[in-house]
Structure 1
Amino acid sequence: MSCFTFLKVMMILFNLAIVIGGGVLLGIGIWVSVDSSSFLHIFGPLSSSVLQFVNVGYLLIAIGAVLFVLGFLGCCGAQKESKCLLIMFFSIVLIIFIIEVAAAVVALVYTSLAETILQGTVVQLLKNEYNKTSDITTVWDTTMNNLKCCGLSNYTDFTDSYYTTHHLGLYPPFCCKNSNPCNATTAESSDVPGCFPQLLSEIRKNAGVVGGVAAGICALEIAAMAVAMYLYCGLDEK
């Protein structure tokens, strides 16, 4: 078996795995979007931490769809020995790789700015959607109950929110210690901490695992691009 044939077979098998993985992520994304409470129950506090910052369901659907298309291009490109499909595969992987590197640089260099923007975005989501959208309400209820916290920064995140407007100025019970009803005065005296520091702590505990997975993905992307380009150039010699 020649080197070209071996790499062609490996390319097909590798991209079949990507197609299957993309399909699995699509299924999980749909499941999370439809039934986030089960996702929270199975994966615990970390899942609720992540769900504060990104809509995991839609994110997984998007990633699954991209992987499915990418795997299809790579598999068909190698099988049919199509230069067009191979160069499309190479280009998409290269774009994804550049985006990942850029995101990593931004996250490292502008950590404080990213956190500020993130806080502003999540607080607005909390004010407008808590107790209005069932998925967001379930995620926040689980988080505040498990971490014994209130809002992202503190109880003031609920001031003039959808919740207080529709509950005669009252705050969620998580914002008060043994107080019913929970109004602004009792919430201030209870001094229940915000969830943001604890959420960051939960995420940072798993930073090593996330970093290792990211490094592995980057290595696979580089290998995939190298093989795709080798096959592309090899077709000219056939």
Structure 2
Amino acid sequence: MAVEGGMKCVKYVLFCFNFISLFCGLALIAVGVVVQVSMHKTFRIMDVNASAGPIILIVVGLLTFFVAFFGCCGAWKENHCMVATFSFFLSLVVIAEIVAVVLGYIYRDKVKTMIDNNLSDMITNYKVGSAELRETLDKLQETWKCCGAQNSSDWKDYGSDGQSVPDSCCLEVKPGCGNGTMTDTAKVHQRGCSDVMSIFLKRDAQWVIIAAIVVAVLQLLGIVFACLLMRAIRGGYEVM
């Protein structure tokens, strides 16, 4: 039994939706890899488990890619089983996204506390810790143009005079520039790294949450189209 216009439109819309989703999945994988490689030192400052973020992004990208693949094949071949599989797994992805958004919103205010605690520990262990720890903290202060956790005075125990900071705190980094210059605003950054990082991460988190909501809404539409197509296929319609 031939179906005019309507069901053909559903078929092609679902196919195009999943074709675009294939590239979205690849994009998520690429972003996750880039973030993991470029910000691994920053994640160490935050928490050992903070690097799970880009890993989750990569996993979601892989799931999106394979779910979209089932959707493309199912829609094109009018295969009820493949469309049903697509619909089921896409539903799981939407649920996971909703949970992630809710958790992200609940824990958004704990980001600064987490950064504060880890930065304070690293400053305390700066001299006695590993070379990697010192390199990580120095790189952080240079990159984010900040000094200490709250401000430059967090380094009061760094030098014997109580007025020195690591050279990485200097506006113009050069050997010995941090000696006796803790409160010199012309030479040393006075902003704490905790505030700078938490503002940046909270701002980005807001955009991620908005994007996740938009994507979830589009995916819900994909599920609706999949259900319509399954109904047509099961009913024995010929989708031209």
Q: Tell me the TM-score range normalised by the shorter chain.
A: 0.5 to 0.7
Instruction: For residue 21 of structure 1, report the CA deviation from its aligned partner.
Output: 2.6
RMSD: 4.6
- Residue 97 of structure 2 aligns with an amino acid whose one-letter code is E
Determine if contact 2:165/2:181 at 8 Å carries over to the other structure.
no
Deviations 1:97-128 (A, max 9, x none): 22222233334345444654565567779979
What pairs with 1:151-230 in structure 2 (closer than 5 Å)? 152=149, 172-175=166-169, 180=176, 192-205=190-203, 209-230=207-228
Q: Cα distance 1:213–1:107, how it changes in 2: closer, same or farther (>3 A)?
A: closer
SS in 2 for 1:132: helix
Instruction: For residue 60 of structure 1, report the CA deviation from its aligned partner.
Output: 4.5
- Residue 173 of structure 1 aligns with an amino acid whose one-letter code is D
Gap runs ≥5 in structure 1: 41-47, 159-163, 165-169
Deviations 1:142-161 (A, max 9, x none): 54224332355567999xxx
Q: How many percent of aligned residue pairs carry the same amino acid?
A: 24
* 2:103 match: 106
Q: Which residue of 14, 19, 37 corresponds with 2:17?
A: 14
- Residue 19 of structure 1 aligns with an amino acid whose one-letter code is L
- Residue 78 of structure 1 aligns with an amino acid whose one-letter code is A
SS in 2 for 1:150: coil
SS in 2 for 1:227: helix
Q: Does 1:132 align with 2:132?
A: yes
Q: Cα distance 1:31–1:109, how it changes in 2: closer, same or farther (>3 A)?
A: closer
Structure 2: how far apart are the matches of 1:32 and 1:210?
14
Deviates more, 1:210-219 or 1:172-181: 172-181
Gap runs ≥5 in structure 2: 159-163
Q: Which residue of 69, 74, 78 corresponds with 2:75?
A: 78
TM-score by length of 1: 0.63
Determine if contact 1:22/1:68 at 8 Å carries over to the other structure.
yes
Higher helix residue share: 1
Whose radius of gyration is greater, 1 or 2?
2
* 1:69 match: 66
Structure 2: how far apart are the matches of 1:208 and 1:118?
18
Number of residue pairs aligned between Structure 1 and Structure 2: 214
Structure 2: how far apart are the matches of 1:69 and 1:219?
19
- Residue 219 of structure 1 aligns with an amino acid whose one-letter code is V
* 2:84 match: 87
Structure 1: how far apart are the matches of 2:20 and 2:6?
21
Determine if contact 1:176/1:192 at 8 Å carries over to the other structure.
no
